[in-house]
Structure 1
Amino acid sequence: MTSHAGEGFSLRRVWVWLLGILLIAGGAGFVLWKPTGGNASDQAYRLGTVDRGPITASVRATGTLNPVTTVLVGSQLSGQVVEILADYNTPVKEGQVVARLYAEQIKSRRDAALADLAQARADLDTKRAQIDKARSALQRAEAQAADLRAQRDRTQAQLEEAQRGSERQTQLNTRAVGTQAALEQARTQVDIQTANLASSDAQIASNQAETLGLKADLALAEANVKSAEAIILQRQAKLRDIEIDLGRAEIKSPVDGVVVKREVELGQTVAASLSSPTLFTIAQDLREIDIYANIDEADVGRLQEGQKVSFTVNAY
C-alpha cells in the first residue's frame, strides 16, 4: 500500500511541472511572435497629472474666408491694357494707379481740343477788339453830332442876323435912304445862311443815321462776343470730357486695401460698351473677415452668442 501511494504522488508532480513548462513556453512564444506595429484603430494614450481646466471641442468643416468689405474695381473706358501695376496680395492706397489703358488716341483728341479752344479764345479777343472799335466809332459820331448841332445853332443865329439886316435894308430903301446894292447883299446873306442851315440839318440827319448804324454794329459785335464766349464754354466742356476719358485710362484704387483678385492680363482688350468689366477685387480691411463654413447641426447647437472661438485653416 505504501509503494502505490508514493508512485501516484510522484506522477501528479510530473504533470504539474509539465503544465507549468507549457504555460511558460506559450507566454514566451506569444511575446516573441507578437507584431511590433499597432493597428490603426488602436487608441493612443498618454500619461499626465489630474487637474482642472477647459475642454476644447474641435470641429472640422469646409468653407471659405471672405473680407467683410470688398470693392470691385472696373473700367468705364474701353481699350487695351498696356500696364499692370498691382497683383495678388498687393497693398494699395486710395487713388493709386493699378493699371493703365492705351490712351494715345485720347491724347491726340485732347491736343486737338486744346487747339480749338485756343482758336476760340483768339476769336473772342478779335470780337472784343471789334467792340472797342465800334464803341470808339460811336463816340466819334456822337461827338460829331454835338459839333454839328453847335454849327447849326451858329448858322441859325447868322440866318436870323441876315434876315434882320435884310429887313433893315428894305425899310431904308422904302424911305429912299438905302441903296439897292446893300439890299441885294443883305438878301444874299439870307440865302447863304438859309443854305448853310439846310446843310447843317442834312449833316445832322446823316450823323444820326451813321450813329444808328454804329449802334447796330456795336450790338452785333457784343452778340458776336457772347457767341464766342459760348463757343469757348462748349469747347472747354469738350476738353473736360476728353480729360475725363484720359483720366479713366488710369485705373485707380478707390480705397485703401489689398488686392485679392486680378481678372485682367497684360495686352487684354477691355470692352466697357455695355457694362463696366471688373478688373480687380480689393479687400478694404483684412483684419476683419467673415467665415462661411458648413458646420454640422449637432456642432452648431453647442455654440452660444458671444462665445470665443479660434480657428485654423489649410492654406498656402
Structure 2
Amino acid sequence: MEALNDVAVFVQVVECGSFTAAAERLGLSRSVVSKYITRREGRLGARLLNRTTRRLSLTETGHLFFQRSQRALLEIEEAEAEVSRLQEAPRGKLRINSPMSFGILHIAPALPEFLARYPDLSVEMNLDDRQVNLVEEGFDLAIRIAELPESSLIARRLAPCRHAVCATPAYFKSHGTPRKPQDLRRHNAITFRYQQTPDEWHFVSGQGEVTRVQIDGSLQMNNSLALREALLREAGLTLIPTFIVGDDLRAGRLQAVLTEYRTLELSIYAVYPHRRFLSPKVRAFIDFLAEKISDPPDWERAGSGCHEAMQ
C-alpha cells in the first residue's frame, strides 16, 4: 500500500506541475508530498524529477515511470468502478434515438419488456432518420444503420441489415420477373432517398462479379414504411431492408427476386458517446438489444422468406 501511495502522489505531482499544487489537491503538506517522491526515487534508485526553484521536469526515467504509473492507476480506478457498477441497478431516464422505421417495428415493441425488467428506469425515445449529434442533443444512445466511419463514438454491432429486391406477386405477373440485374431497367423502381446511391443499385454474383444498374422510377420516398405501403399497392419494385418486409415475404404478400445475388449490406449498431465508464442504464439497454436482435435476426431466420433470399 505504501508503494501504491508513492506512485499515486508522483502522478499527481506530474499532472499538477508542482509539489504545491499536488499537495493542495491531495490535502497534504508540501513537505509530505516531497517525502513521498524522495522515498519512491530511493526505492527505484533513480531520479524521477529535476527540481529547480521555478519548475519541475521529468527525467527520461521519470517520463517512462509516469506513463506506466498513470496507466496502472487508471486500470485500478476502472476496476473499482466496474465492481461498483455490478452493485448498481439501472435507474433514471434513458434517452434513445432511432431511425423511424426500425424504431417503430423493432425498438418500440420491445420497450415494455425492458421497462418491466428495470422498473427504476424510464425511456424517452426519439424517432428521426437524420443522424443526430448524441452529445449536443443529450442522447444516451442511438441506433444507427450504416457502415460507420471513424468517429469518437463507441459502437456495438447488433445485427446485419441486408436488403432484397421485392414487389408483389401480382406486379411480377403483370410486368415480368427480373432474371438478372440488368432486367431492372425495364421496371418502375421505388427509390429510398437516404440510400447512398438511390438511383444505382449494386449486385454481386456468386463468383464475385459486381454489376451496377442505373434504375429509374416515378416514386422516391424518405421512409421505408411508406415505401412498403407503395410496394403492397403494386406501385413498382424496390430495394428494401429485410427488417421491413420479413413478415410480408413469409406471408407471400411480397416476393424477393435476384436472390442469387448479394446486394446492399449495412449493419445495425448501438452507438453511444465516448465515455470513460459506461453507465448501467446504457449497458443494460445495449445488452437487452443484443439479446433481442441476434445474428441472424428474427426477420431473417429460416422460414421468414428473407433468410432464403439472402443466401
State TM-score, norm by structure 2.
0.19
State TM-score, norm by structure 1.
0.19
Computing the radius of gyration from Cα coordinates, the structure with the larger value is 1
- Structure of greater relative contact order (alpha carbons < 8 Å, 6+ residues apart): 1
> Greater helix percent: which structure?
1
> Greater strand percent: which structure?
2
